[in-house]
Structure 1
Amino acid sequence: MSGQAVPAGVLVAAAVVLGTAPWWSLARLRSSGRAARSGGVRTVRRGRRTVEAPEPTVPPTTDAAFLLDLCGAAVAAGAALPRTLVVVGRHLGGPDGDALVRAGATLELGGAWDLAWAGAPPGAAVVGDALATAWQAGASPGPQLRAASDRLRRERRARVRAAAGALSVQLTLPLGACFLPAFVLLGLVPVVLGLAHGLGW
């Protein structure tokens, strides 16, 4: 009787271990990949020596809503639109800042609007799109900057909510695969073994 009950518990425990082993290996692979990427160092072999060279860094992108807020604050302080772009771009730096400086300088020299924003990165291009109507119609750019900033933040919140909902659906199967074997092992197996012992099997 006990000789039959013990192998059943061992088999269930082995099934739980085998069922959860891929999750452990996947977690180890992901953590090792993050550790390798976080070092930011690549190995370069030169002749007989091995030299550690820093990985090329990608310039961070600027939040487009933050750019719109900066330009809106400068316009609200009374600065002209070309001057606003130049000042904000110089203080911001990076690809987006350079694009703003280039656009402002082109507009100050009387260049066309499309020429001023040609080749602008995504963050600066959002500013150009928000200011296009105001520049061409001669309207105040402040309300359009605020409206564009609010729209971007609403869209971002909507994307975050949608991603959170999708994540909850995607986690259903892994959580079920982890908790169901544990429920069977800790909840059902002792009951079955107790019934088998009571019935004299």
Structure 2
Amino acid sequence: MAGVVVGLAVAFGAHRWLAHQRLAEDRRLAEVEVRAELAPAGDLLAACLAAGAGPREAAEAVGRSLDGTVAERLRHVAAELRLGGEPARAWLRLAALPGAEGLARCMERAGISGVPAVESASLIAAELRAESGRAAAARARRAGVLVTLPLSACFLPAFLTLGVAPVLMGLAGGLLERN
């Protein structure tokens, strides 16, 4: 009876742990996706601002032209600003996304004070793109390390079985014949 209780407790704990791991992985993938969407959105925002559009118009145009979480947030920000919302509160929607704080702050300043945001939006987009490249390189390095474990699990036993074992058996056979 104690084994059944312990088994059920372990199964429940394993189920909870796996659910937590899946949830954490889903969050991490969503964050990676959002960070990948931010650089093109920042470039497009800078291009719209350079063409003479205001922050609201730029957010609306970029939100309509892209898909994904960032585009949806930009559409919401543009709609809120169009309805007379306060820029500081509206741009908080974009700032809530991971990695978008700088871009949202830049667009908020441009909307409140009229400060030209083309250069700063371009710099932030370039920084986001570089960060995305660094993250991709880190993931590639990690994959290279992780791939060695299965290779060693397959090739090491094969090497021992086909390379070392016959030599040792031959040496042992030769030593046993002399005795």
TM-score bracket, normalised by the shorter chain, equals 0.5 to 0.7
Specify whether residues 76 and 123 from structure 1 end up closer, same or farther in structure 2 by C-alpha distance, changes over 3 A only: farther
Q: Which has the larger radius of gyration?
A: 1
> Which of these residues, 15, 36, 45, is aligned with residue 71 of structure 1?
45
Q: What's the counterpart of residue 3 of structure 2?
A: none
Q: What's the counterpart of residue 122 of structure 1?
A: 97
2-side partners of 1:93 and 1:169: how far apart? 34
5 Å-filtered alignment, 1:115-194, equals: 115-120=89-94, 122=97, 125-126=100-101, 127-194=103-170
SS at match of 2:154: helix
| Residue 68 of structure 1, CA deviation | 0.8
> Which structure: greater helix fraction?
2
TM-score norm. by structure 2 comes to: 0.63
| Residue 182 of structure 1, CA deviation | 1.2
The list of structure 1 runs, each at least 4 consecutive aligned residues, that deviate by more than 6 angstroms after superposition, is none
| Residue 118 of structure 1, CA deviation | 4.4
TM-score norm. by structure 1 comes to: 0.57
Q: What's the counterpart of residue 77 of structure 2?
A: 103
Specify whether residues 151 and 104 from structure 1 end up closer, same or farther in structure 2 by C-alpha distance, changes over 3 A only: same
> Which structure: greater strand fraction?
1
1:125-158 Cα distance to aligned partner (Å, 9 max, x none): 5542342333344321111111111111221222
2-side partners of 1:194 and 1:81: how far apart? 80
CA-atom RMSD in angstroms: 3.1
Q: What's the counterpart of residue 22 of structure 2?
A: none
Q: What's the counterpart of residue 9 of structure 1?
A: none
Q: Give unpaired runs (5+ residues) of structure 2.
A: 1-29
Segment drifting more, 130-139 vs 149-158 = 130-139
Query: Contact 1:90–1:97 at 8 Å: present in 2 too?
Result: yes
Once the two structures are aligned, what percentage of the paired residues are identical?
35
Number of aligned residue pairs: 143
Q: What's the counterpart of residue 41 of structure 1?
A: none
